[in-house]
């Protein structure tokens, strides 16, 4: 603990001075899981002694969204949550929401020419087929992936103790000194060095990356292991839709005001050597009138890339390199209510999930049978297809018969990963923070929540040491001066 924090505690103890007048005005830009989680953690840290304006240009939930097909809702964005995702588990419990487990589904891996692996409806037979095809390597790979995920869980203890990180390098280094190296080497090369066969890398590992991130085995190995963890069996989602988590976190917060607007500009207004204010310029949906508001803290819970839909101008900052990142990967989610044509995929009968290990040949990344977010449909005829490009009706008709309804959603879903990872910063300026910096390590709901807590801790600690501490010192000094004059 720093000396001035110790001194602050002594002054508070001796003088009985509280923080009632140290009430920050905070802007959160982005109403997805990152922005929602930030608002939650900030309210906890400041003990609700704060004001928050949350700016959302579109819909609360961001990349957590549902789509309606034939009067039923289906997950359209982030769909699965791992059982070890601590913050998502806690949010669901706090908000009184329910888990929705995934029913057993038959899955196959397709390379465009043939099915390279197909599960059986009998688990034991599937296990035998897996061993026959790949040996024991899938099991050792699962253990290795689990060890990395378990090691990563040290972040929860670090955050519970108040540890903060200004960039992703210090973040990874504090968890494990080997973790930064995982972002500098491709998952393919790491696994080859560990002795895994090209067959398992090109089929199983590549399939998880194609399905989860729309990308290949040249991505850095940390996101590769996160992708493998996302292929586990102990997955779940929120009953009623994962979007309920950000919605409930935001709308239950009495100290938060939702502003349905897009932010145009953020201006840095220096006050003195240690303090800054930020002027946010924004425009309401459906209006051309530009409005302004002043904040002590600004938290960006949006991607900062040059290709974002609502780019923000940063003015008056000594170093304006906030947009130094590459683009986000575009994924297309196509929803079809129809009957699957098994023969198109080289199958004899309909399967629930068909996963691609070569999207250049298959055109699609995956096709899967959907259940509604309420889990009420059996033998659903609604399918979700992930692809890197929009699907033409000709392709859809080749894959399906009796097509009754088709809808498409275009997502800027996650970063374009490589081994040339950027030094993404959580702290961009004095009191300007970026939640989504964590996505350059890996993109997932839990990662956004972890990034949100880190940013909330940074904002809280910076605010009190730079503002309230100074105010208390001045108050204490003033009291001593008055006493001498008397």
Report whether pLDDT(325) > 80: no
Report whether pLDDT(115) > 80: yes
Band of residue 476 on the pLDDT scale cut at 50, 70, 90: very low
Q: Residue 360 CB: number of other CB atoms within 10 A?
A: 9
Per the CB < 8 A criterion, the answer to whether 321 and 167 are in contact is: no
Q: Is the pTM for the entire model greater than 0.75?
A: yes
275: nearest Cα among 462, 72, 5: 462
Residue with tokens 């998502």: 88
Q: 3-class SS at 22? A: coil
Of all residues in the chain, the percent with pLDDT exceeding 70 is: 91
Band of residue 11 on the pLDDT scale cut at 50, 70, 90: very low
Report whether pLDDT(485) > 90: no
Runs of H (alpha helix) within 60-165: 86-94, 123-134, 137-152, 154-160
> pLDDT digits over 226-278, tens only?
999 988 777 899 999 999 999 999 999 999 999 999 999 999 998 876 678 99
Report whether pLDDT(379) > 80: no
Provide the β-strand partners of residue 432. Answer: 298, 429
Structural domains in the chain, sorted by start? 103-153+183-239+329-415 (3.90.660)
- Measured in whole angstroms, the distance separating CA 386 from the mean position of its chain's CA atoms is 18
116: nearest Cα among 291, 362, 340: 362
Spatial separation of the C-alpha atoms in residues 341 and 399, rounded to whole Å: 5
Per the CB < 8 A criterion, the answer to whether 358 and 112 are in contact is: yes
Q: What's residue 477's pLDDT? A: 45
Q: Which has the minimum average pLDDT: 49-63, 325-339, 444-458?
A: 325-339
Rg of the chain over Cα atoms, rounded to whole angstroms, equals 25
Per the CB < 8 A criterion, the answer to whether 261 and 55 are in contact is: yes
């Amino acid at each position: 603990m720093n000396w001035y924090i110790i001194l602050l505690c002594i002054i508070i103890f001796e003088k009985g001075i509280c923080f009632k007048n140290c009430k920050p005005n905070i802007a959160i830009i982005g109403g997805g899981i990152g922005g929602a989680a930030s608002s939650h953690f900030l309210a906890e840290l400041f003990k609700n002694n704060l004001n928050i304006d949350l700016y959302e240009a579109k819909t609360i939930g961001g990349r957590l969204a549902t789509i309606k097909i034939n009067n039923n809702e289906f997950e359209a964005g982030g769909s699965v949550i791992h059982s070890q995702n601590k913050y998502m588990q806690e949010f669901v419990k706090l908000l009184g929401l329910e888990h929705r487990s995934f029913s057993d589904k038959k899955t196959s891996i397709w390379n465009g020419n043939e099915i390279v692996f197909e599960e059986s409806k009998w688990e034991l037979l599937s296990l035998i087929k897996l061993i026959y095809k790949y040996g024991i390597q899938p099991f050792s790979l699962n253990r290795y992936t689990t060890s990395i995920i378990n090691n990563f869980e040290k972040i929860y203890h670090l955050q519970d103790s108040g540890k903060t990180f200004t960039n992703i390098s210090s973040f990874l280094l504090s968890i494990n000194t080997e973790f930064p190296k995982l972002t500098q080497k491709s998952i393919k090369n790491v696994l080859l060095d560990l002795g895994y066969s090209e067959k398992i890398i090109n089929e199983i590992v590549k399939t998880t990356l194609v399905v989860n991130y729309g990308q290949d085995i040249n991505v850095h190995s940390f996101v590769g292991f996160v992708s493998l963890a996302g292929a586990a069996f102990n997955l779940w989602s929120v009953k009623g839709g994962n979007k309920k988590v950000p919605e409930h976190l935001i709308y239950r917060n009495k100290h938060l005001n939702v502003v349905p607007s897009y932010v145009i500009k953020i201006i840095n207004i220096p006050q003195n050597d240690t303090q800054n204010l930020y002027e946010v310029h924004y425009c309401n949906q459906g209006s051309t009138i530009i409005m302004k508001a002043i904040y002590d803290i600004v938290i960006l819970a949006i991607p900062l890339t040059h290709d974002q839909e609502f780019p923000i101008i940063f003015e008056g900052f000594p170093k304006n390199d906030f947009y130094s990142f590459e683009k986000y990967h575009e994924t297309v989610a196509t929803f079809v209510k129809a009957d699957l044509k098994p023969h198109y995929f080289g199958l004899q009968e309909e399967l629930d999930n068909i996963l691609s290990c070569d999207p250049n040949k298959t055109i699609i990344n995956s096709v899967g049978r959907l259940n509604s977010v309420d889990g009420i449909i059996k033998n659903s005829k609604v399918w979700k297809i992930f692809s890197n490009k929009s699907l033409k009706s000709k392709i859809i008709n080749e894959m399906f018969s009796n097509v009754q309804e088709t809808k498409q959603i275009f997502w800027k879903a996650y970063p374009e990963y490589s081994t040339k990872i950027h030094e993404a910063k959580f702290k961009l300026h004095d009191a300007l923070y970026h939640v989504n910096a964590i996505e350059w390590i890996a993109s997932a709901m839990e990662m956004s929540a972890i990034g949100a807590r880190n940013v909330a801790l940074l904002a809280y600690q910076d605010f009190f040491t730079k503002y309230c501490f100074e105010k208390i010192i001045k108050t204490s000094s003033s009291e001593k001066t008055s006493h001498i004059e008397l």
